[in-house]
Amino acid sequence: MSGPLFVLGAAVLWGLIGVQSAGLLDAGVGPYEIAFWRAMIAAALFAGHAALTGGLRLPRGRDVPMLGLFALLGVTLFYAAYNLAVESGGVSLAAILLYTAPAIVAVLAHLTLGERLTLVKVGLVALTLLGVVLVSLSGGGGVTVSTASIGWGLASALGYSTYYLIGKWALRRWTAPAMYAVVMPVGGLALLPWVTFAEKGTREWILIGTLAVFSTFLAYALYASGLARMDASRAVVVATLEPVVAAVSAAVLLGERLGAWALLGGGLVIVAAAAAGGGGRPRRRSVPAERSAG
């Protein structure tokens, strides 16, 4: 039972990203600065991990453009867009929209990689789209459905989808810590033109630290440990508890309440994500990159 418990721990830590970000936003720390510190602190931890395991190295050849693209989409866009989605719409909405990523992956893999778009995949994409439509019909207490909140939520899902599309390729050539030691500082530094550094006290630095150390670096470590003890397909399904944790924590700590249509739509998105993750043969090597950025 240790494998599922490790993955559950990772899902809980990822699910708490939203409330930590909301706390920083309320304190006047901007969404781009939150993303910057999260990436840079986690990058230092991944670099230390990679150095201790003998995997730290610089990219060469075709790794440079691929990892550069991964950094810009998987860190710069993903981290910033998720914070902007939380700021404009609330934690629950942002977490639900993040899990449209498997549907985005199915479409992009068909268009760019030539992967077959099966009837099952089409059905899961349709289920996801229906879920997004239903979520868009209903806000709730502390949840704001708007063009900005939906747009940033889907943009974060697009950034997150690169952990499937590019991460799988990168992990054939890199260990996960070494890869993140490269892409995270590049993605973090790319945020600097938009960052306005706010005055921060002890509470704000603690939130930044827990976000980077626990909900990013440690969450990866727990997920990787769990993955070593269970099938990848089961691990991905357990990890879809993340938006549930996000919604519950937002309800308890922030007073957010999703409307009936949003709850139904969110349920459809989570079911589609779980079905997409649970299908096919287990892939022990590729999955850590797919979930380790949270």
- How far apart are alpha carbons 237 and 7 in whole angstroms? 10
Average pLDDT score over residue span 198-215: 97
pLDDT for residue 279: 56
pLDDT for residue 282: 40
pLDDT for residue 294: 44
Cβ–Cβ < 8 Å for 59, 67: yes
Each residue of 42-82: pLDDT tens digit?
Answer: 999 999 999 998 889 989 888 999 999 999 999 999 999 99
Closest to 213 measured CA to CA, from 38, 33, 36: 38
> Residue 108 carries which DSSP code?
H
User: Across all residues in the chain, what is the average pLDDT?
Assistant: 87
pLDDT for residue 278: 62
- 187: pLDDT strictly greater than 90: yes
Q: Give the DSSP H/E element, type plus range, for residue 10.
A: helix 2-15
Which of 207-221, 247-261, 278-292 holds the top average pLDDT?
A: 207-221
Confidence tier at 286 by pLDDT (50, 70, 90) = very low
User: Helix 101-112 vs helix 147-165: angle between axes, to the nearest 10 degrees?
Assistant: 60
- Measured CA distances, 137 to 24, 130, 144, 149, 259 (Å): 28, 11, 11, 13, 9
Average pLDDT score over residue span 213-221: 92
Average pLDDT score over residue span 91-116: 88
- 141: pLDDT strictly greater than 80: no
b/e per residue 245-268 (b: at least 16 CB within 10 A):
bbbebbbeebebbbbebbbbbbbb
248 is written with which tokens?
Answer: 């519950």
Domain extents in the chain:
2-291
For residue 218, which amino acid is it? L
